[in-house]
Amino acid sequence: MAITDRELRKQQEASALGTAGVSGASDPRGETVNIHSRQKDHFLLSGGSTTTNVAEKVFGYVKRASKLRNAHWAMTGALTSNTANYAKLSIYKRNSAGAAQTLLASWNCAVGAEGTTVTLAPNACTNTSTAADLSIAAGSVLTYEIIKYGAAGMTVGEMSVHVDLEEV
């Protein structure tokens, strides 16, 4: 006997009561959580030398149509904002053919941008202001790159990149 999507969802919600990621269920703090959220993470062991860029790296495959909720990154060291020597992290989506690179979010340590960071603290990226670009088609991949600017560059150490997606 086949089970409908609705029945399956009810069973999932009932069996996962109190577990984060389940729609309509309450976690121990009494908060309602959503079954359709997904997270993608990538860990970079080295950001290269001070002036070497980190080439675009794939860190996630989006199986179902989704929307970017937010993006964060954290690093084992700190970055100090600078007008001439700074680094910019960009997070992109690419379609299922690997083409059409589209910016989702970014973080920039230049003076006047997001600025200085603290060691081991999460840093919120700025989502693109184009709402349609936050939608991610099924089959897309997520990538990121780090571009360093200025003659002296910026040392980027071990870090993690994290995105929070909501299925649509």
Among 21-25, 29-33, 111-115, the range of highest mean pLDDT: 111-115
What is the tally of structural domains in the chain? 2
Do both 75 and 16 map to the same domain? no
- Looking at per-residue confidence, does 113 or 129 come out higher? 129
Give the pLDDT band of residue 133 (cuts 50, 70, 90): very high
156 touches 51 (CB < 8 A): no
Do both 67 and 5 map to the same domain? no
Return the pLDDT at 159.
85
Dist CA 73 CA 145 (whole Å): 12
148 touches 51 (CB < 8 A): yes
Do both 134 and 51 map to the same domain? yes
Return the pLDDT at 26.
40
Dist CA 98 CA 71 (whole Å): 21
- For the stretch 70-115, pLDDT in tens is 999 988 888 888 888 888 999 999 998 888 899 999 999 888 888 8
Do both 46 and 30 map to the same domain? no
Do both 30 and 40 map to the same domain? no
What pTM did the predictor assign? 0.74
Do both 8 and 58 map to the same domain? no
Do both 40 and 103 map to the same domain? yes
Dist CA 125 CA 115 (whole Å): 11
How far apart, in Å, are the Cα atoms of 122 and each of 21, 139, 161?
Answer: 21, 28, 10
Q: Is the pLDDT of residue 29 over 50?
A: no
Do both 78 and 153 map to the same domain? yes
Q: State the residue range of the domain holding 47.
A: 36-167
Dist CA 151 CA 145 (whole Å): 19
Q: Is the pLDDT of residue 8 over 80?
A: no
